[in-house]
Amino acid sequence: MVGYLFAGQGSQYVGMGQDLYQAFAESKAIFEQADKVLGFSISNLCFSGPLEKLRPTDVSQPAIFTVTIAAFEAFKARVDVKPSFAAGLSLGEYTALVAAGCLSFAEGLRLVRQRGVIMDEAARKYPGKMAAVIGLPSDKVKEVCLVAGSQIANVNAPGQIVISGKVEAVDKSKALLMQSGAKRVVELAVSGGFHSSLMQEAAGELKMLLDKTAISEPRLPVISNFTARAEYKITEIRENLASQMYSPVRWEDSMRFMLKQGINKFFEFGPGKVLKGLMRRIDENAQVINIEKKEDILNLESG
């Protein structure tokens, strides 16, 4: 059985998607549509940067979303695969919903652009940061968070947890986590304390946008980051997307859910190989094939 995985924020780089644009009509059409919908050239930012302009969350989110769908559309036109489930890491959940037919590409793009704007505004109003904790069990991380006032933002894989919160709380947590035996605590290159209570006000704004957005029932079950299970009802999809903004991303639980359903082969769409690396920690026997560049699709087509 096959599952689809969709990349999250932080995997952006200058040049992403350019070879897809040049090689595949489906990808080119996605980039051209994205430029029209957004009213500025997201394709030029993806292809030429500079990285400083690609990094802000209100740009990186629509950029990664567009590149990921460009790869997905080119793949879908050339490779005959029938997936059983889909999941995406944070931002990637929106891409998964487009792949499942819940959202049109244009509606999804408008949503993630506005999501990025809302998150950026919240980050300015309530300054925060995030850090990845490597090599410490989740119960130990939770203990430190309770003492320092930070929160768990992502449970990505065994030994890889992300914390979030106010700047001083995350700084205090970093020192305590190292004292508690963490191998490393690495600050993430993000502009705020996402997936924490700092985003609760922003989640209310996002919910109002979601309520106005046309969402269809999924043709393919999509795993919610918030519940770590497949969701089918439109009302629950809307609620979960809003809750996801200030709640932990349960990625490890989501992957274990898919594995228990019998999924043993995954296609990861979008820039980078983050999800493949996380799966290696969750279940080293699961196969993950990256769909990021022209060669990834051509190799499957010829094979």
195 is catalytic: yes
Instruction: For residue 111, give both structure tokens.
Output: 């949503």
Of 27, 60, 90, 173, which residue is the catalytic one?
90
Q: What is the dihedral of CA 40, 49, 110, 227, to 10 degrees?
A: 180
Q: Give the Cα separation of 303 and 57 in Å (integer).
A: 37
Q: Give the Cα separation of 212 and 91 in Å (integer).
A: 19
Of 195, 196, 247, 254, which residue is the catalytic one?
195
Q: Give the Cα separation of 202 and 180 in Å (integer).
A: 33
Tell me the angle at which helices 105-125 and 200-212 cross, rounded to the nearest 10 degrees: 160
In the Cβ-directed half-sphere of 163, how many Cα atoms lie within 13 Å?
Answer: 37
Q: Give the Cα separation of 114 and 16 in Å (integer).
A: 22
* Those residues with Cβ within 8 angstroms of residue 275's Cβ, 6 or more apart along the chain or in another chain: 5, 7, 89, 266, 268, 288
- Output the CA–CA distances (angstroms, integers) from residue 293 to 20, 154, 190, in the order listed: 6, 27, 25
Start-end of H helices in the chain:
18-23, 25-38, 42-48, 51-54, 57-78, 92-99, 105-125, 138-148, 167-179, 200-212, 234-244, 251-260, 274-282, 294-302
Active site members: 90, 195
